[in-house]
């Protein structure tokens, strides 16, 4: 049986902080607490609108997380450059729409082939393991499309989601044991559950543990 790894998403620790218009609670402190409790990795989504996780959070997570930092992000020039500079252990490319409360579906790989292929190539060249957030249905056209775009770990997006989900704590993300960047697997992982992301004031608060053996060296 494939060993499962537990990654904890710390986005909504930042949501609470932004809503409080304060410097706490701190998602980095939450991440380190999760690692001490036995988490295999930390997930954080740096959205283009910066509604929860901020640039400073990602900067500090990149130097503080001692297990695996899984950076969720849109495949944009700005985000790819951030990932190339910080070189997290893994990047998961996800779709984003400003009007959504939380991520409402997987990547439409069929319509974004060139952009995704370029982003994946740049991330892999930086030694970063890559993952695509896609719809999980076996018949979904994104599955073969993703396989043809690049060699990536496929991370399923759960469905359906309620139109107006209630406020709830962020659920943990469970992903399969992933291979090294040079020999990626195309097996889909178990679905991930995620709680809603609630827009809040985009305030920038003021602003380690040893590096993972398989984490790229800076």
7-27 residue pLDDT tens: 999 999 999 999 999 999 999
The reported pLDDT for the residue numbered 198 is: 47
Burial classification of residue 49, based on how many CB atoms lie within 10 Å of its CB (0-12 exposed, 13-18 middle, 19 or more buried): exposed
Region 43-53: mean pLDDT is 94
Q: Which CATH architecture has domain 4-176?
A: Alpha-Beta Barrel (3.20)
> What whole-number distance in Å separates Cα of residue 50 and Cα of residue 74?
12
C-alpha to C-alpha distances, 86 to 12, 104, 123, 133, 189, nearest whole angstrom: 22, 27, 11, 21, 26
Least confident of 10-19, 44-53, 133-142: 133-142
The reported pLDDT for the residue numbered 212 is: 46
pLDDT bucket at 5, cuts 50 / 70 / 90: very high
Q: Is the pLDDT of residue 148 over 80?
A: no
With b meaning 16 or more CB within 10 Å and e meaning fewer, what string describes 158-183? eeebeeeeeeeebeebebbebeebee
The reported pLDDT for the residue numbered 109 is: 81
Q: Is the pLDDT of residue 81 over 70?
A: yes
Q: Is the pLDDT of residue 153 over 50?
A: no
In this predicted model, which residue has the larger pLDDT, 197 or 38?
Answer: 38
pTM of the shown model: 0.67
How remote is the C-alpha of 137 from its chain's centroid?
Answer: 21
Quickly tell me which residue has 């380190």 as its tokens: 32
pLDDT bucket at 125, cuts 50 / 70 / 90: very high
Q: How many CB atoms are located within 10 Å of the residue 99 CB?
A: 6
With a pLDDT cut of 70, the percent of the chain lying above it is 60
Query: Which phi and psi angles does 146 have, rounded to 5°?
Result: -65, -40
Residue ranges per structural domain of the chain: 4-176
């Amino acid at each position: 049986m494939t060993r499962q790894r537990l990654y904890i998403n710390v986005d909504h620790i930042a949501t609470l902080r932004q809503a409080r218009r304060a410097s706490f609670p701190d998602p980095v402190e939450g991440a380190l607490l999760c690692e001490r409790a036995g988490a295999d990795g930390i997930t954080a989504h740096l959205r283009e609108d910066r509604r929860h996780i901020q640039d400073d959070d990602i900067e500090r997570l990149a130097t503080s997380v001692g297990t695996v930092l899984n950076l969720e992000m849109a495949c944009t020039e700005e985000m790819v450059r951030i990932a190339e500079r910080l070189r997290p252990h893994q990047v998961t490319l996800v779709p984003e729409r400003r009007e959504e409360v939380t991520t409402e579906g997987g990547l439409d790989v069929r319509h974004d082939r060139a952009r995704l292929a370029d982003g994946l190539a740049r991330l892999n060249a930086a030694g970063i393991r890559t993952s695509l957030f896609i719809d999980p249905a076996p018949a979904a056209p994104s599955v073969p499309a993703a396989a043809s775009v690049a060699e990536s770990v496929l991370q399923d997006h759960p469905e359906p989601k309620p139109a107006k989900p209630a406020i709830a704590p962020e659920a943990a993300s469970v992903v399969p044991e992933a291979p090294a960047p040079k020999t990626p697997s195309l097996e889909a992982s178990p679905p991930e559950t995620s709680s809603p992301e609630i827009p809040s004031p985009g305030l920038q608060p003021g602003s380690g543990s040893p590096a993972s053996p398989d984490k790229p060296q800076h």
